[in-house]
Amino acid sequence: MRAVARSAGVGIATAYRHFPTRADLLEAVLAERVSECVRMLSEARAEPDPRTALTTVIDSFAELQVTDPGLLRILLDASAGDLLFDEARREHSAALSELFRRAAAQGVIASDASVEDVRVGMMAMTAFASMPADRAAAAIRRLRDLILRGILATP
């Protein structure tokens, strides 16, 4: 908590007033990250090119796993987090499904690919969390590339 207070430029007492427990602090940080994901998905939904929209989302979530290991698991796996983010999980799932359907309708998706393939690949990205950061980042980005190659129709 001292490091958090120092980083925020406030006294430790102020930090404890806002976040009485470590759980309160973690929940606030997680809520902010979830909000960022909601904004990113909203921007992707507004993107007119379905290929760009879908690939940007997959890339963004891969980078999220690189920078915040474990967060992707909470966002994708209802059993990994508490009920607080269930609605966000449903919104993320609906947005991904919508983006996938749009891309499929435009012929961007390989005929044998499914949105579940994307979900499985994104969950697989969480398996690298225990690796050293540089190796995990390389593995996550490689998996992202494999997911994209697997689901996208060849131009």
Residues in the chain: 155
What are the residue boundaries of the structural domains of the chain, listed by start? Answer: 30-151
Nearest to 128 by CA among 66, 37, 57: 66
Tell me the Cα Rg of the chain: 18
Torsion over CA: 65, 43, 51, 100 (sign) = positive
Spell out the per-residue pLDDT of the chain, length 155, in tens.
Answer: 666 667 667 777 776 777 777 777 767 777 777 788 888 999 999 999 999 999 999 999 899 889 887 776 666 665 545 556 777 778 888 999 999 999 999 999 999 999 999 999 988 998 998 899 999 999 999 999 999 999 999 87
| Residues β-bridged to residue 109 | 152
Sign of the CA dihedral running 143, 149, 152, 155: positive
Contact 125, 143 (CB under 8 A): yes
Homologous superfamily of 30-151: Tetracycline Repressor, domain 2 (1.10.357.10)
Q: Mind giving me the DSSP string for 103-116?
A: HHHTT-B-TT--HH
